[in-house]
Amino acid sequence: MGGHPALDLVDTVGGMRETPPREEDEFLRSYEDLVALGLKTETLSERAARRLRRAARENPDEARVALEAALEARALLDSVFRPVADGAASPAPALDELSRLGATAISHGCLVPHGGHVAWSWEDAPGLDAPLWPLVHSAVELVTSGPLERVSCCGRCRWLFLDATKNHSRRWCSMEGCGTDAKIERYVARRRERRAASAAG
């Protein structure tokens, strides 16, 4: 949804912008969901996903701790990127925390050949927190290399996304979702106003 792995992690909690998330707005409910996010964002290979799922079944406590860590990282990335989407800067304490977490991510990764270059890989990272590291690293890359100016928030729901339009004009997470819902809401509101006006007249 976010068009970037770091924003996709932030977007694992949904719901409306102005109201706190409800229970059904939570998409990261189990370790399996975290692995699924890794596959969807292509930050985790099928091979690593199989290995992690097996290890999670054998160590449910460690899997729970890893999920908790992912939820904490998500809250941190939210506090880094949401102000940016609203046209402000990321708060310094959030960036401090991200630099620490980013350094931990690097310490769990290794450099491997990748398409003629060399890239960070967490393919064989031993712990169950392995899905978290490439997501954290992608957040560091987004704040350091951009395109940070493309980070936007939906005008209706809480989802962040990279706005790829030429003149930064994208308003909704998706036209089929919030774009359509906003149109319906405007229509209903206009009709209600008209009805109130004719009742008053």
- Measured from the CB atom, the residue of 15 and 127 that comes closer to Zn ion is 15
Q: Minimal distance in Å, beta carbon 11 to Zn ion?
A: 9
Q: Find the binder of Zn ion among 80, 135, 157, 162 (CB under 5 A).
A: 157
Which whole-number Å values give the CA distances from 145 to 68, 129, 138, 141, 187, in the listed order?
28, 25, 10, 5, 41
Among the residue ranges 99-107, 111-119, 163-171, 176-184, the one whose residues contact Zn ion (CB under 5 A): 176-184
The tokens describing 119, both together, are 């890239």
Among the residue ranges 96-104, 131-139, 154-162, 193-201, the one whose residues contact Zn ion (CB under 5 A): 154-162
Q: Find the binder of Zn ion among 63, 135, 154, 160 (CB under 5 A).
A: 154
Q: Does 173 bind Zn ion (CB under 5 A)?
A: yes
Among the residue ranges 47-55, 107-115, 137-145, 151-159, the one whose residues contact Zn ion (CB under 5 A): 151-159
Q: Does 160 bind Zn ion (CB under 5 A)?
A: no
- Measured from the CB atom, the residue of 77 and 178 that comes closer to Zn ion is 178
Q: What angle do the packed helices 132-145 and 31-40 form, to 10 degrees?
A: 50
Q: Minimal distance in Å, beta carbon 7 to Zn ion?
A: 13
Q: Does 7 bind Zn ion (CB under 5 A)?
A: no
Cβ-count burial of 77 within 10 angstroms (0-12 exposed, 13-18 middle, 19+ buried)?
buried
Residues 35-54 touching Zn ion, rule: CB under 5 A, are none
Pairing of strands 117-121, 110-114: antiparallel
- Measured from the CB atom, the residue of 32 and 181 that comes closer to Zn ion is 181
Tokens 């936007």 found at: 152
Tell me how crowded residue 1 is: count the other CB atoms within 10 A of its CB: 19
3-state secondary structure at position 118: strand
- Measured from the CB atom, the residue of 1 and 37 that comes closer to Zn ion is 1
Alpha helices, H only, the chain? 5-10, 31-40, 46-58, 60-85, 92-108, 132-145, 180-200
Q: Does 178 bind Zn ion (CB under 5 A)?
A: yes
User: How many residues line the site for Zn ion (CB under 5 A)?
Assistant: 6
The tokens describing 176, both together, are 């089929």
- What residues line the site for Zn ion (CB under 5 A)? 154, 156-157, 159, 173, 178
